[in-house]
Structure 1
Amino acid sequence: MKKLALLFVILLSGILAACGNNAENAEALSEDKLVVGVTAGPQEQILEAAAEVAVEDGLEIEIKVFSDYVLPNTTLAEGDLDANSYQHKPFLDEFNEDHDTDLVPVGETILNPMGVYSETYDNIDDLPQGATFGLPNDPSNGSRSLFILEEAGLITLDEENKETASIHDVVDNPLELEFVELDAAQIPNQLSEVDAAAINTNFALGAGISPKDDAILLESTNSPYVNYIVVRAENQDDPVVETLVNAYQSDKVKAFIEEEFEGSIIPGWED
């Protein structure tokens, strides 16, 4: 028994030592090339502009495009991406908690002001009693759409659960809005089926909808939902990450955003 106990201690010590060495000796990202994930649309376009700046600093950026909000994070956590650029911090925090991952934000990118749209009504004040309202079915963007409605005075949310509000936390709903939770990417295609809906900017633009011109209600510019470049925690201090962030936050990329999107997307690193 003593020999078995001693063997167990030796094996356990070896495992712990190996884990410690892995943490301390995490492989740094390449200084010459990064593989970065984005969602299709504006995020992809803006990263392409950042890649043109990065190459001037000797950094090649290979862009991988995704069509949903989950795979860019799971692929990053699994090590098949070096970074991604598509999400705000509330979404990232929720993802880390749900998937037991350790992904960290390293630099602000853009604000995609979420808008409310309707094929029937031209003003948010025109919504009738009992109107159907579509909103994203993922927790963070669902909460975000409810915040917009509350800011406009259409609903009141439970103060205790405000940061993670769902449709079940609506405590006052004078219009008796009927909430319909939908996949965020599909809401533009289903807009005709509801009286109004909250749509993420990238999906709106992808469907030919202009947040600036077509929204009947637009998220205010003091929104906390700024997007970030995200990496694994073990790589957050790698010098190449700073190179990537600096390329993205350059004057050239800022000018591209302002010219290309005309206020529908806002550089998020500005004070």
Structure 2
Amino acid sequence: MKKKWFLFIVLVICFLLTACSSDSTNGEEKKTKVKVGVRSSELKTWEFLKEGAAKEGIELEIVNFTSAYDPNQALIEGEIDINAFQHVAYLDYYNTKNGSNIVPIAATIMAPIGLYSSKYESIEDIPDGSQIAVPNDASNWGRALLLLQEADLITVVDDFDGNGGEDKIKDNPKNLEIVPVDSFNAPVVMKDTAGAVINNGVAVEAGLTLKDAIIHESKTAKPYINTIATNSKDKDNKLFKQIVKLYQSNETAKFIEETYKGNYIPTFISLDELATYKESYSNNK
């Protein structure tokens, strides 16, 4: 009889230990691996962060996406946990277009776009009627128009909402032909046009720096601050918050400044301030 009771007690204890082990393994607080989707232009930053994360017991797996696959789609499908490749204006546009609910959980860098040319060295040199290539996605097309407006080449419409399009130009005194192209092809197209507005990451990959640009954005262009983003349901994930803290550290800011030589500007504003980015459009009318 005593043997039976002993075996029964042992079985109960084993069951409880197994259950507790399962709970601690499956719980969010015990998960230690995070998959982040990035583009090549920020790969060095995330490799730096990977080392810091490892010291805190977090395994950071970096998934480097080419232009052929969208890190937002990968996030929606659960292939990655977070991504870091897009500015807040593009993220909002993507959500609106696709009915998705991806949210920013941190501001990271400002990556100024620039107008590059292999033919001309200044805005004044660009002839009337010239072709200017711009990114063909709505948010970056709008961003390019604001840059051209800053250079007094065009004026955007009074109700400008940040998105580009052929109908978003109010005045075009030099009769420039705005040519929308795939952003990754802009460095090649630049050779056949008077100039091309090129996203910073694409420019870096093509061997261009901000110093090569005829003009470029200032760091006050709030809609174009890059983010770390995740699915809305995961916005309060504790591991993700640890990674945000690592990114927004003085050590990471110093690494970015030294590695990218001014091409990327660490911009660690709050999410509340980031959410007001649309106010910037009214200031550019």
For Structure 1 versus Structure 2, the TM-score category normalised by the shorter chain is 0.7 to 0.9
CA-atom RMSD in angstroms: 1.6
AA aligned to 1:214 is D
- Is 2:88 aligned against 1:73? no
Q: Percent identity?
A: 35
Mark the structure with the bigger radius of gyration. 2
Q: Report the Cα distance in structure 1 between the residues aligned to 2:225 and 2:28, rounded to whole angstroms.
A: 27
**What residue is the counterpart of 2:36 in the other structure?**
36
**What residue is the counterpart of 1:222 in the other structure?**
220
Evaluate the alpha carbon distance shift between residue 254 and residue 127 of structure 1 in structure 2; reply closer, same or farther with a 3 A threshold: same
Give how far 1:70 is off: 5.7
- Partner of 1:87: helix, strand, or coil? coil
Residue ranges of structure 2 left out of the alignment (5+ in a row): 1-26, 271-285
**What residue is the counterpart of 2:252 in the other structure?**
253
**What residue is the counterpart of 1:154 in the other structure?**
153
Give how far 1:69 is off: 8.1
Task: Please give the per-residue CA displacement for 1:158-202, whole angstroms capped at 9, x wherever unaligned.
Answer: 111342232321010001011111100111122101101100111
**What residue is the counterpart of 1:233 in the other structure?**
232
Residue ranges of structure 1 left out of the alignment (5+ in a row): 1-26
The answer to whether the 8 Å contact 1:30/1:240 transfers is no
Q: Report the Cα distance in structure 2 between the residues aligned to 1:29 and 1:232, rounded to whole angstroms.
A: 18
Q: Report the Cα distance in structure 2 between the residues aligned to 1:136 and 1:69, rounded to whole angstroms.
A: 16
The answer to whether the 8 Å contact 2:140/2:163 transfers is no
Which segments of structure 1 move beyond 4 Å, counting only runs of 4 or more?
A: 27-30
Q: Report the Cα distance in structure 1 between the residues aligned to 2:179 and 2:164, rounded to whole angstroms.
A: 15
- Partner of 1:161: helix, strand, or coil? coil
**What residue is the counterpart of 1:15 in the other structure?**
none
Q: Report the Cα distance in structure 2 between the residues aligned to 1:28 and 1:71, rounded to whole angstroms.
A: 26
Pairwise mapping of residues 1-271 of structure 1 onto structure 2 (< 5 A)?
28=28, 31-41=31-41, 43-68=42-67, 71-211=70-210, 213-224=211-222, 225-269=224-268
Task: Please give the per-residue CA displacement for 1:21-74, whole angstroms capped at 9, x wherever unaligned.
Answer: xxxxxx848631100000112x11111111111112111110001122861000
The answer to whether the 8 Å contact 2:139/2:162 transfers is no
The answer to whether the 8 Å contact 1:39/1:69 transfers is no
- Which of 158-167 and 52-61 deviates more? 158-167
